[in-house]
Amino acid sequence: MEQTHGHTSQDHNNTSHDGGHSFDTKAIWRTFWILLIITCIELVVGMFIAPRFPHNTKIWFNILYIIFTAAKAFYIIAEFMHLRHEIKNLIMTIAVPALLFIWFIGAFLWDGDSFKNLRNKLDPYKTETHKAKPTQPIHGEEPLK
The least CB distance from residue 122 to another protein, in Å, is: 14
Hey, which residues between 87 and 126 contact another protein (CB under 8 A)?
87, 89-90, 93-94, 97-98, 101, 104-105, 108-109, 111-113, 115-116, 119-120
Residues 17-56 that bind another protein (CB under 8 A): 17-20, 22-23, 25, 28-29, 32, 35-36, 39-40, 42-43, 46-47, 51, 55
Q: Which is nearer to another protein, 1 or 133 (CB)?
A: 133
Please check whether residue 2 is in contact with residue 88, taking contact to mean a CB–CB distance below 8 angstroms.
yes
Tell me the closest approach of the beta carbon of residue 49 to another protein, in angstroms.
Answer: 12
- Minimum CB distance to another protein, residue 118 (Å): 9
- Cβ-Cβ contacts under 8 Å for 82 (sequence gap 6 or more): 18
Does an H or E element contain 107, and which? helix 100-122
Yes or no: say if 106 and 66 are a contact pair by the CB < 8 Å rule: no
| Length in residues, the chain | 145
Does 127 engage in binding with another protein (CB under 8 A)? yes
Packing angle of the helix pair 58-75, 25-44 (nearest 10 deg):
170
